[in-house]
A = this chain, B = another copy of it.
Amino acid sequence: MDNQLALLTLFGSILALAFAASRAARVLKFPQGNEQMQKISSSIHHGAMAYLRRQYRILICFFAGMFVILFAMAAFGYLTWFVPFAFITGGFFSGLSGFVGMQIATRANARTAAACQQGLNKGLNVAFSAGSVMGFTVVGLGLLDISIWYLLLRLVFKLPIEDITSTMLTFGMGASSMALFARVGGGIYTKAADVGADLVGKVEAGIPEDDPRNPAVIADNVGDNVGDVAGMGADLYESYVGSILSACALGVIAFNKIESVDRVNAVVIPMVLAAVGVLASVIGSLLVKTGESTKQNVLLGALRRGTNTSAILIAIVAFPLVWFVLGREFIGFYLAILAGLLAGVLIGFFTEYFTSDTYKPTQDLADKSVTGSATMIIGGLSLGMLSTALPILIVVICVMAAYVCSGGFIEATRGLYGIALSAVGMLSTLGITLATDAYGPIADNAGGIAEMAGLDPEVRVRTDALDSLGNTTAATGKGFAIGSAALTALALIASYVEKVQEVGGASVELDMSIMNPTVLCGIFIGACLPFVFAALTMSSVGRAAQSIVIEVRRQFKEIKGLMEGKAEADYETCVDICTRASLREMILPTLLAIVTPVVTGLILGYNGVIGLLAGSTATGFLMAVFMANAGGAWDNAKKYIEGGAHGGKGSEAHKAAVVGDTVGDPFKDTSGPSINILIKLLSMVSIVFAALVVQFHIF
């Protein structure tokens, strides 16, 4: 039966890609607007493509280097020959997801602006369709990669099932490293351009946002695409694939000793669940429609209808899936899937609660702007830190529920498989949740184009309504990404433990006790990594922004007639500075993530690595939630004030709020989301280098 089920996954992949293609065709049929809009859109498109080209050039060197290392390790017998190739495909598809998403996003921005000239519903239609292209490309390519490798290894190479899952797991490392590069590089780009443009344009020169006189304005819009679209695409590709692969790997082990079930079934369940999720997401997407009200509630309701329908469909279909494929005595795994689905929704809700200005926390934060920027910063930091408590509790309850329902206290590996399945459950509706998330930056860009092209202010009001809604859905999307990252990272730790036992055999002396000093020291080192990583990425943004500030100031001074609108700014230099700076700055943090677990392993041994992974998962989760929520709340508090509270735009309170927003930018769009990838990349790297560490280590 398993091959048929695996084929179902392939069909799911094809369905997703076909849906993405149909949506793309639909977007491209819309008119691009007037000549000036086309010109701006084309500048953004070219800037973004130039960035991606250069980024891929660097990444080809990295992937080639890693390929050689993995190849050498395979030659010495530390890896199977499939791993170097699996690594490459993981990286390739992750990169491709970002690329496709960005291609469509940069083509949809002017079209969204043009559609908003005709009405809000049309605008939503274009933007959400473009977001869907991204969402369904990510899941489609993810399932394609998984199902092709699975069928290849099983039907062509006829590998035993445990070798299949363990090989497939390693292509997660390719996806994760690609994702981290894309997130960090894109994140630095977008925030350096944004902060740089704001600091000189808004604060010093006093011109509005997206004003064409600002030389960094195109770079800012390019940044939305390379950071929030391409970076996010690669990121969520990695989350999605990682959760499925770790569940497959644990499925083999969980059903090792159970004779009544073919353990291959446990391997295909997460794949099929994801495929079912595609179908549910397609159905959900078709329900997203709105009228002409620009009220947040109505718009949000339209999107919610789509995501909720998808979630309910999954919850219904997963039941017979588990019942018939695994058998009724294992129906507890269904509850694990449900727990994950529910936890995702709850984390998303609390993320929204803490960051949306319709709720008290962000409104209270806005009040703090009255006493100045210092109290605004303290308020945002403490809001962000406090907001970690509920998501942590939800994850803890989800983990315990998944473990208990799956029978973890009877057989531990089953409990761990249950935790992995809950992560798959949480991400099963990714097609649509990502669509609601990815349409935000498109609407944002559309607003920028409307502004620069001098369209009717009514258009900007409509794009703003879409954009503001995008902030809320992006917060929810981030909640999902963070929650699933924590669950997947836990599943990956379990996979690492299995891998160590597999490659080391009888020589392995596992002692994962907290009282083992190597474990304890590993926890300390791991816990420190997200702090260091956040520090590096934040200061990268600072440095890159500083070079933009200097360039923009130079142009304002040297280009005569720029401020009067008589001369055109030199946009390309800013784009170029951002590109070079972000590509330079993305290397160190990513290398840190790859080198640390290997070095720690060689010194403290695999027990130390297990500690490191646990420490980094816990702190990484906290830092990711803290930074995302603090940043989101500052952003929305500023918007709340701009909406008229505490004196509105231009007031002292607003100035304080702008400081908070500027601090929050790298928090929520650079450091925070990168940490999600970091914690999984650490496990992936550990798994690939497990054999080396088992053989050579000091303690």
Contact = CB atoms under 8 A, between A and B. Distances in A.
Nearest to A538: B382
A95 interface: no
Give the dominant DSSP class at A's interface.
Answer: helix
Interface string A654-666: 0000110011001
Contact of A531 (B195, B388, B403): B388
A1 interface: no
A227 to B, nearest CB: 17
B535 A386 contact: yes
Interface string A387-412: 01100110110011001000010001
Q: What is the count of identical protomers in the complex?
A: 2
Contact of A524 (B381, B392, B626): B392
B520 A490 contact: yes
B622 A546 contact: no
A386 B415 CA distance: 37
Given A396-B525, A400-B521, A199 B371 contact: yes
A535 B383 contact: yes
A534 B619 contact: no
A316 interface: no
A615 interface: yes
Q: How large is the interface on A (under 10, 10 to 19, 20 to 34, 35 or more residues)?
A: 35 or more
Nearest to A627: B381
A523 B610 CA distance: 13
A514 interface: yes
A73 interface: no
Given A371-B549, A521-B400, A527 B528 contact: no
A618 B527 contact: yes
Contacts of A490: 520
A542 B375 contact: yes
A377 B195 CA distance: 13
Nearest to A661: B374
A517 B415 contact: yes
B619 A666 contact: no
A449 interface: no
A659 B528 contact: no
Given A377-B663, A386-B531, A389-B528, 17 more contacts: A195-B374, A374-B659, A374-B663, A377-B377, A379-B539, A382-B534, A382-B536, A383-B535, A386-B535, A399-B517, A400-B518, A512-B514, A514-B514, A523-B523, A531-B626, A615-B618, A618-B619
